[in-house]
Amino acid sequence: MKIINSVFEKSSKTIDQCPNKNLPEFAFVGRSNVGKSSLINSLLNNKSIAKISSKPGKTLLINHFRINDKLFIVDLPGYGYATVSKKIKEDIKNIHENYFKLRKELLYTLLLIDIRHDIQKKDVEFMEFLINNYCPFVIIFTKSDKLKNNELDKQVENLKKQLSVYWEDLPKMFVTSSKTKTGISEIHSFIESSLKEYAI
């Protein structure tokens, strides 16, 4: 998929405020500081379209980015924050509940996991939530540049092994780095092929 144009559409507090343009959506979600904004910027070849913050829980809105006037990339609030208030956690939970259960434009969810860390309980819970709500998803391992090549292969196999404890059939997985652009073209291809299937 070639990015011809990418624009920030809007931020929404609730699903009712989301764009009503009947375009397929690819939602990005993950734990705190997993590198979500950096990955979106790399995918869209725009260093600042998605704001980056080192403060966990900064993204508390549903952010839509319109790509080639054909689809939306959706930056969702993360999950698993330990340092935010109970009210904010509840607000984020409500956003997730409403978006994934009601947003008919959602085509795929891209669930981000920092490749340096083991699969967390919150990751498993979120995957189960997606499965239970019939939301197709793929796993994006981020920050692969933080590991050496020999460590990277071992860690990928380690994470697959951890996930296979819960599911026999694992989703498609991508190993990425926003810094080195590793995996970016593969995600572009995945989005493009998914759009073709959507159009059938």
User: Residue holding tokens 């590198």?
Assistant: 35
User: Residue holding tokens 């405020």?
Assistant: 17
Query: What is the residue type of 61?
Result: L
3-state secondary structure of 145: helix
**pLDDT at site 52:** 58
53 pLDDT more than 90: no
Average pLDDT value for the chain: 93
Contact 107, 122 (CB under 8 A): no
Contact 159, 114 (CB under 8 A): no
Contact 78, 36 (CB under 8 A): yes
**CA angle at residue 84 from 109 to 7, to 5 degrees?**
40
Query: Tokens in use for 96?
Result: 């997730």
- Kindly state the average pLDDT of the residues 7-32: 95
User: Residue holding tokens 């026999």?
Assistant: 168
162 pLDDT more than 70: yes
Q: pLDDT tens digit string along 147-158?
A: 998 999 999 999
Question: pTM for this one?
Answer: 0.93
Q: Which domains does the chain have, with CATH numbers?
A: 6-199 (3.40.50.300)
For 83, phi then psi, to 5°, come to: -105, 5
4 pLDDT more than 70: yes
Query: Tokens in use for 179?
Result: 């810094």
**pLDDT at site 38:** 93
Contact 109, 29 (CB under 8 A): yes
81 pLDDT more than 80: no
Distance of CA 169 to the CA centre of its chain: 20
140 pLDDT more than 60: yes
Query: What is the residue type of 166?
Result: Y
